[in-house]
Every structure is written in C-alpha cells, then in structure tokens.
Structure 1
Amino acid sequence: MLVEGLMRTVFFTFITPTFNRVDKIHRVFESLCQQTLRSFEWIVIDDGSKDGTKEQIKAYQQEADFEIHYYYKENEGKTSALALGIPMAKGELIIIADSDDCFVAETVEKFSEAWLKLTEDEQEKCNGILALCVTQNGQNIGEDYRNEGYYNPIDFAFGGEIERVGENWIASNATILKKHWVLNDAEKMLGFIPESHFWNKIVMSEKPIAYRINQRLRIFYVNENEPSLSVGIRKKAPKGLHFDAHYFITHYTDLLWKYPKPYLKHLLKYALFTQYLGYGFFVGLQRLPLMVKILYSLAYPFAFLLRNRYFR
C-alpha cells in the first residue's frame, strides 16, 4: 500500500550542483541506482566543470532506469546552481545531493514513509523531512534529535540544537523551496550567498511546521585529501557574506530577545565584513534601523580587534 500510495502522490527530485567532481559524482549515481523506491528524477547542474563531467553524466543517462537531466552553466557557485535547478524540479519533495555524497538505499523509502504520515494540509505547511548523517567510516555525526516527529524549526535553527546534532539532510517541500530559493538581479551579481540565507528565510518567513526522523540516511565524507570548497570563503566572497549578515540583522530583529547568540553573531559578522570591504563605519551605519544602529556601534570596535584573526 505504501508503494502504491507513493507512486500516486509523491515524486522526488534529487538536485546535484557540481564543479569538477567527475571522480566523486559516481557516489550519487550509484546511490540512486540502489534505491528501494524508484519514484524520482535526478537534475545535475554543472557549474562550469572542465573535467569530463558532461560526458560522464551523458553515459549515466544511457545506463539509468530513471530520468537524468543535465544542464551546464558558467561557474558562479553552488547557490546560483541551485537557483537554476530548483525551479525545474517536478518532484513534490526536493533533495539536494552534493556531488561528493552518497546515501543509503532506503533514503527515498524512509523519507516517503515520514511524508505520507502527514495529512495533505500538514504536507502543505511542512517545510520538509529532516534526517541525520553518518561518515563514510560509519561514525555518527553529532547526536540524535531530542525527539522524532514534529519540532519547532525556529528553535532548532537558533536555539543551539543544530550545533549539537551537527550535519543534517532534508527532503524539502518543493513549493516552499521554489518560493524562497530565488535570486534577484542584485543578488546574482554577488556571486555567492551562503545556503543558510535561504534556509533562514524559509524558517522565518513561512514559520512552517517541520518533521524529523532519527535515521542516518546521508553518508557524509570527511577527511578526504582535497581542499574544502569553503576554505578561504570569507576572502573569496565577502560581498555575499556581508549581504547575508545585513539581511539577517535587519529582517530578524525579533530573534535578538529570544535567541541573542545567533543574532549578535550576525551583527558582528556585518561589522567585520563592512570593515573588510572598506565601506567604513558610517556607510555601514546608514543601512540600519535605529535599534540596530546602536548595537552595530557597540559591535564595531570588537570587530576591529577581531578582524585580523577572523580573516587570517
């Protein structure tokens, strides 16, 4: 009954943004081939690879018994790649599978079981199903969730549990994700905006219900002999990080009273990137509401003291 219901009501879209990962992307393909439920498509957004990724995906298209869609674009980063791929998704749920990840064979089945427990009204309001991760060596990443089932996504994101749990993986409500993972012309010019910017927008704008399962579905590779994509990102993409910090402190001021730590952290980041970009104190001050101006004035000297260490 579950499979029959799934085939009628749920269709998954896996989206993989990739850049020069032809030696790793086989992990995603092999994981998809092993899925116990087959109701999905795979969208690959090639963000300017020069390593034969196109030819590899074309070969996968000939071999696979599921839909594979390949799109090439100039290199602009993961955020823009997802902004291209997400609107194309036909699925009711979207899973972002990084190009160097793999996942267990029951991934689609487990996400489906959790999703189908919800009523249609609950599905409409739910931002997705959250699951846990494990390393390639079988070691759990972080602790289990405090509880399975419904949880408060705002409290989870800003109340400290996310740091205790560590790496997560989500099958996202496609309608909600498509609404918020959008870049305007000015944002496209930034080149990079952290993914957390969009997850925060979903949580704070939609205030959705959310559901999670204490199962480790994603295999997250650690300690591989290649540089992390995030190494040096503060110096590579200061404008995007500055934009994100400014958006956070001006749009989510209510968080200051209940969750001061993440709010003040973004405030300090705004001051740091304002200095790093050479905008100066008064330029940064002009873009803020009155209450935030006061906090920014207090944070600015601390940012000056931390700046060399932060950007080292």
Structure 2
Amino acid sequence: MEKLTIFTPTYNRGYIIRNCYESLCRQSNKDFLWLIVDDGSTDNTEDIINSFINEDKIKIIYHKQKNSGKHVAHNKGVLMCETEMFVCVDSDDYLSVDAVQIIHETWPNIENDKSLAGIIALRGEDAQQAIGTRMPRNIERSSILNLYEKYKFKGDTILIFKTAILKKYLFPVFEGEKFVTEAVVYDQISQKYDMKLVDKVLYLCEYLDDGYSKNILSVHKKNPKGYMFYLTQKVENAKKFRDKYKAVAYYIAGCLGIRSIFYYRDCDYKLLKIISIPRGILIYVKPIIKSTLVKYKLVKF
C-alpha cells in the first residue's frame, strides 16, 4: 500500500490541471496516489480526470462535492486519506521530478518522532530557484510559525504532514462562507509540533490571476467570519506583550478591511485595542498605497 497521498483540491481548472498530472507521471518514484476533490466544477474537469484514470499511469481517486470552498475540500481529502503522509498540491502547480523520492527518503527521519508533524521543503519557479530565501542554515527542525517569525524565513513552502496529525486539525467551517486561510491550521499545529526542514525545491508554481493569492483582499471581505477567526486565533496564541500588540494591530487592520465595527467591539483586550489603533491603520493602508502607486505607474514593486 502507498505511504503518500498527493491531494489536489480543484475548481474549474480543467484548462490547466494536466500540468499537475504530467508532473506526477514523471515522478522518479511512483509510490503515491493522487487524490482529487473537485469542489463542484462546472467545466470539463470531471471528463479530463476520467481520461487520466483511463490512461492508468498513476493511481487516482476522484471525488466531486458541492461547491463549498477549498478548506472544505481539504477536510474531505484528509478524512478520505488512508496513507501515512499527506501533501497538498494545487491544480495549477506541479512537483519537481524527484519530489516524491525525496519525501520518501526523508520520511524515516520523522516517522517515529512524535514531536514532528511532517516535512517542510521549498517552492520555486523552477527546481533551482526558490521563491524567497533558502532554509535557515544549521537548523534541522522548526515549527511552521517559528520558521517565519524566529528564523526570518521569507518565501513559500510545501508542507508534507503526517495524516494522523492532520486529522486532528480540520478547518473550521462557517455557514455561507467558502474560504478559511490555511494558516489557521498551520498555526494550531505550530503550538505543539515542529517540522523537519528540507532545503530543496520540490514544488513548482506561479500565481494565476484567478487564484486566491492575487485576490486575497476581496476574498477576506467575502468571508469575514473565517478571516476574523484566524486573526482572533493569532491574538490568543501570542504569548509575549510585543507579539500580542502586533497581533491586535493586525486584528484592527482586519476589522477595517472587512468594514466591521462589530469585531472591534468584540475584542477583549481593551487597552491593547486602543494603543494598537495607529499601527492597525498603518497595516491597513500600506497595501492600498502600494496598489495605488503601482496602478498609476508611479513606482515599481
């Protein structure tokens, strides 16, 4: 039986999902299965996936659900998963040729370590060039949160989790909303577990115009409950005063972003939510100013 599930949530990506499929067919190690949860696509995704299944090059499991959001699709994938390892690869992205092999080679180092939730490796535009910085030197393990905050890593990663741990950390679901940031789960896992760091590019990607990454501000406005749940969790998890002050400032920026005084009033940190207002406003207006400058070609970023 396979040890690794490569999970792909998809929605109307029939025009590009073949790139992901072909990268999986090129893997030097075929010891994996591809689990696809289709979030109610209305294009020809189902026909395309069926054609892949008929080619019989790799093992594929396909499940279609009512359109509910990527986080609900992720929950479904985790609950369906029967392998020891689980990694999410979006339908518009793909893996380096040796990605599965490197994951399997690393697995024995973490399999029986109860303090490790999985593996972190790098994303890149190609197999040599990481998006952002490399992994911190001489550091073999870190929580996801500390990688960014303590070791000042800047960039994107691929996260390979122990499935048994992911099953304990499903995404919250809010009625009427279709998005919850992945950081909600990652921050929860960071409170108890470290990850094994691998300084290699395993995940290749580019950000499309119809993806979440390029439309995140509008996504937050359409899904305020999930967004504010994430920001509230950041405040609650912060231990030091400086970190809590920063988290409350981002919470205030979030309130401004979704245009809600309700959430501001609901914040329990009475003193902090007053002294954090200036920083919160700055956090809120900074991307607006940047966007305006780029729009009118006054500056390049």
Shared topology, TM-score over 0.5? yes
Contact 2:69 / 2:178 at 8 angstroms: preserved in 1? Answer: yes
Q: Percent identity?
A: 25
Deviations 1:73-113 (A, max 9, x none): 22232112111111111111101001011111211110111
Deviation at 1:229, TM superposition (A): 2.4
Amino acid across the alignment from 2:149? F
Deviation at 1:280, TM superposition (A): 2.4
Contact 1:83 / 1:183 at 8 angstroms: preserved in 2? Answer: no
Deviations 1:161-203 (A, max 9, x none): 232xx0111211111111112435xx35443211111100111
Deviation at 1:151, TM superposition (A): 1.9
SS of the residue 1:241 aligns to: helix
Identify which of 135, 149, 153 aligns with 1:162: 153
* Structure 2 counterpart of 1:220: 205
Contact 1:136 / 1:221 at 8 angstroms: preserved in 2? Answer: no
Amino acid across the alignment from 2:118? G
**TM-score of the superposed pair, with normalisation by structure 2:** 0.84
Q: Distance in 1 between matches of 2:176 and 2:79?
A: 20
Q: Distance in 1 between matches of 2:227 and 2:105?
A: 37
How many residues are aligned here? Answer: 285
* Structure 2 counterpart of 1:178: 167
* Structure 2 counterpart of 1:3: none
Deviation at 1:276, TM superposition (A): 4.9
Structure holding more helix per residue: 1
Identify which of 217, 221, 228 aligns with 1:242: 228
Deviations 1:229-281 (A, max 9, x none): 2313233323321121112212x131545xx2xx4443223223334555427
Identify which of 117, 123, 140 aligns with 1:133: 123
Deviation at 1:58, TM superposition (A): 0.9
**TM-score of the superposed pair, with normalisation by structure 1:** 0.81
CA change 1:309–1:209 in 2 (3 A) is closer
Does residue 24 (structure 1) correspond to residue 5 (structure 2)? The answer is: no
Contact 1:28 / 1:100 at 8 angstroms: preserved in 2? Answer: yes
Contact 2:221 / 2:258 at 8 angstroms: preserved in 1? Answer: no
SS of the residue 1:141 aligns to: coil
**5+ unaligned residues in a row in structure 2: which ranges?**
292-301
Contact 2:136 / 2:151 at 8 angstroms: preserved in 1? Answer: no
> How is 1:1-312 mapped onto 2 (pairs within 5 angstroms)?
11-118=3-110, 120-122=111-113, 124-136=114-126, 139-147=129-137, 150-153=140-143, 154-159=145-150, 161-163=152-154, 166-183=155-172, 187-204=174-191, 206=192, 208-222=193-207, 226-230=209-213, 231=215, 232-250=218-236, 252-257=237-242, 260=243, 263-277=244-258, 279-280=260-261, 284-288=264-268, 292-300=269-277, 302-303=279-280, 307=284
Tell me the C-alpha RMSD between the 2 structures.
2.6
Contact 1:151 / 1:210 at 8 angstroms: preserved in 2? Answer: yes
CA change 1:19–1:148 in 2 (3 A) is farther
**5+ unaligned residues in a row in structure 1: which ranges?**
1-6
Deviation at 1:308, TM superposition (A): 6.0
